[in-house]
Structure 1
Amino acid sequence: MNRLYHVTLSPFCRKVRLTLAEKKIEVELIEERYWERSTEFLRRNPAGKVPILRMDGRVMAESQAICEFIEETCPTPPLMPRDPEARYEVRRLCAWFDDKFNDEVTRKVMGERVWKKVMKLGYPDSKTVKSGLGAIKYHLDYMGWLLDQRRWLAGDVMTLADFAAAAHLSCLDYISDVDWDRSANVKDWYAKIKSRPAFRSLLADQLPGLPPAPQYAELDF
């Protein structure tokens, strides 16, 4: 059985979960308390990060590398276009969300409101949370601008870029920190991707002691 060592509300783990589910690759989910840095965990990935995928005798780390490996070894249905320019755009947007969006929004909001509580690191810093919630407006506006010109974020077909964005936004939506009324385009895009079968396991996630927001699992939100 393939195994994915993950954390429930990690956008990087969620991106891999979405990719696996879209490709209909069965995987056993193993919750990994990576912050405890067990010897066994560090043996799997000395970088001390999740996700870690064990598949076909290989142990793989780094979400983007994992997703592209899955795409290359299981190309149906495709999540990367064939055209080099289109592939570049997918990779650019994956980096946008996994680097810029993560630094400016996810890490600040989720780090303060969720992971401090889980890791028992004290109370949220309101200034950091406010900064993250301010920054998300810019990103939603940028996504809205992209979706004015395209059916999906990177073009006219769904790609890994959409999964990267949805992975981050779904974590924030779990704690009700996305203003879906800011952009009708973004709300419609998220409703489309949220209704895919690949998304079902994410919508069933529950973090002990921190239940999801009421609209989190609702397809009509």
Structure 2
Amino acid sequence: MIKLHGVSFSPYYNKVKIALLEKGVNFQEVLTPPSQDEWLLEKSPMGKIPFVEINGRPLAESTVILEWLEDAYPTASLLPPTPNGRALARELMLLLELYVMLPAQPLVGYLLKGGRPDAAKAEEMRQAIARGMGAVAQLAQHGPWLAGDVFSFADLSAAGVLPTVAQLSQALLGENLTQRLPGVAEYLQKLGQRPSVARVWADREAALAAFMARRG
């Protein structure tokens, strides 16, 4: 049994959750916010989520978990069949996470706690996110998935990152910066038709709504 620890509005948690659903792996979700508590640091050395427990053995970092799943469950592969295709899927995944989600990360605090970034900080984040979206647009294949014909790591990441950044940038920067990716509306619609993604998005919205209700 695999236990998946984290929270349902984390893009990285959702990346792993979609992979588990796509592969048909039996797993249990455990609500676990990130923290520096000793028990959590024993399982995720930086106190980050998601992490998994695989028959009791902990494993952290979302991309490492994906790679483990590919090795352990090679059927229903989430990587293209060629070396170049696999490299592109991984490259797009990292572009989305390092250059789109990471510069948008400070906005999560504003959304959850209230307030807005000042004009200078907002513009700095807008430019950084827009540059990241431009890099993704440069490499995206739309064939029909982000890295080509195969639903891959790139799409797992996009399914987590794009809705989050769309919401954050529209609410706090005044522009949905994910629209810098040509055809993004059609791509997101196609993603949402995939049962694994539809379930994860529904769980994300429910968790976020519950959190905001408690905060309010």
Shorter-chain TM-score range:
0.7 to 0.9
Distance in 2 (alpha carbons) for counterparts of 1:8 and 1:146? 28
Is the aligned partner of 1:168 residue 2:174?
Answer: no
Identity of aligned residues (%): 28
Native 8 Å contact 2:79 2:150 kept in 1: no
Distance in 2 (alpha carbons) for counterparts of 1:183 and 1:19? 23
Native 8 Å contact 1:6 1:51 kept in 2: yes
User: What TM-score do the two structures reach when normalised by structure 1?
Assistant: 0.78
Distance in 2 (alpha carbons) for counterparts of 1:42 and 1:149? 39
Native 8 Å contact 1:148 1:185 kept in 2: no
Greater alpha carbon shift after TM alignment, 122-131 vs 185-194: 122-131
Shift of 1:175: 5.2
Distance in 2 (alpha carbons) for counterparts of 1:33 and 1:194? 26
Instruction: Name the amino acid aligned to 1:13.
Output: Y
Q: Secondary structure at the match of 1:77?
A: coil
Distance in 2 (alpha carbons) for counterparts of 1:137 and 1:187? 17
* Alignment gaps of 5+ in structure 1: 212-221
Provide, for residues 92-137 of structure 1, a one-character-per-residue CA deviation record: whole Å limited to 9, x for no partner. Answer: 1121122122232x313223323xx2xxxx7442343443344444
Native 8 Å contact 2:2 2:26 kept in 1: yes
Please name the residue that 2:173 is paired with: none
When residues 101 and 91 of structure 1 are mapped into structure 2, their CA distance, relative to the original with a 3 A threshold, is same
Match of 1:125 among 89, 92, 117: 117
Please name the residue that 1:210 is paired with: 212
Q: Secondary structure at the match of 1:8?
A: coil
When residues 43 and 181 of structure 1 are mapped into structure 2, their CA distance, relative to the original with a 3 A threshold, is closer
Provide, for residues 134-193 of structure 1, a one-character-per-residue CA deviation record: whole Å limited to 9, x for no partner. Answer: 444444444445446632221222111111122111223455733666555111111111
What is the alpha-carbon root mean square deviation over aligned residues? 2.6
Please name the residue that 1:75 is paired with: 74
Instruction: Name the amino acid aligned to 1:39.
Output: E
Match of 1:198 among 183, 196, 199: 196
How many equivalent residue pairs? 203
User: What TM-score do the two structures reach when normalised by structure 2?
Assistant: 0.80
Is the aligned partner of 1:92 residue 2:94?
Answer: no
Greater alpha carbon shift after TM alignment, 139-148 vs 92-101: 139-148
Please name the residue that 2:15 is paired with: 15
Q: Secondary structure at the match of 1:44?
A: coil
Distance in 2 (alpha carbons) for counterparts of 1:8 and 1:173? 17
Distance in 2 (alpha carbons) for counterparts of 1:203 and 1:133? 27
Distance in 2 (alpha carbons) for counterparts of 1:20 and 1:97? 20
When residues 69 and 176 of structure 1 are mapped into structure 2, their CA distance, relative to the original with a 3 A threshold, is same
Instruction: Name the amino acid aligned to 2:8.
Output: T
Please name the residue that 2:33 is paired with: 33
When residues 174 and 204 of structure 1 are mapped into structure 2, their CA distance, relative to the original with a 3 A threshold, is farther
Please name the residue that 1:155 is paired with: 148
Native 8 Å contact 2:107 2:168 kept in 1: no
Q: Which has the higher helix share?
A: 2
Native 8 Å contact 1:4 1:53 kept in 2: yes
Distance in 1 (alpha carbons) for counterparts of 2:180 and 2:45? 41
Greater alpha carbon shift after TM alignment, 65-74 vs 143-152: 143-152
Please name the residue that 1:215 is paired with: none
